[in-house]
Amino acid sequence: MVQRYFLTAPAASVAREFDVNIDVAFPSRYNIAPMSPIAIIRQNERRARMFALAAWGFIPGWARGREIRSMANARAETAAEMTSFASAFKRRRCLVPANGFFKWQGASGAKQSYCVRPEGGALFAMAGLWETAVDADGGEVDTSPSSPARRGLILPKSPSASRWLLNALNMRPGLKWMSVTPTSLRR
């Protein structure tokens, strides 16, 4: 599961790469952690792509008014069936743009982090889900886990990213291409 990632590309590059209008500038971020604000690309009711900022930590829509801990990741194997993610899996998918992410390996207490990114630092998208939750002050906040996949579902450029947003990318368990990363990603 992705626990940290980075997005260093300027807003103009993200807009061009994902064919979305971005009217805000955001700084390069090298260590994005759960509960941080993140950039996402989702579709509006007219199926046009739109840019949004969301809190990385999913809170299900049915949890309004309840004390519930946010979830940073969903598993591809169970996201469609889990009560927490099922509605968003069907109707509220998003792309999480990134330039790379970190993975940890090794024995407990002695883990080493490794940077995983495309050669040349190109942008890619992780599949995500989003939901609107209500904060303690009664305001609405968009929340999102980074990826509904155990290893982080990396979406190659078209057509997979578009199919994910259109809810047309079928995520049935056992599909071999479901968690395959592009061969250009290196550790």
Rounded average pLDDT per 10-residue block, the chain, 187 residues:
87 93 92 90 89 85 69 74 82 90 83 85 86 64 56 62 70 40 45
Q: Give the pLDDT score at 154.
A: 67
pTM: 0.80
Residue 39, pLDDT score: 93
Q: Strand, helix or coil at 127?
A: strand
Q: pLDDT value at position 173? A: 44
**Sheet of strand 124-129, all strands in order from the earlier edge strand to the far edge:** 131-134, 140-144, 49-56, 37-43, 93-98, 124-129, 154-155
Distance of alpha carbon 134 from alpha carbon 170, whole angstroms = 30
**pLDDT value at position 130?**
87
**What CATH number labels 4-186?**
3.90.1680.10
pLDDT value of position 9:
94
Query: Within 10 A of 150 (CB to CB), how many other CB atoms are there?
Result: 16
**CA 25 and chain centroid, separation:** 19
The whole-number pLDDT of residue 143 equals 64
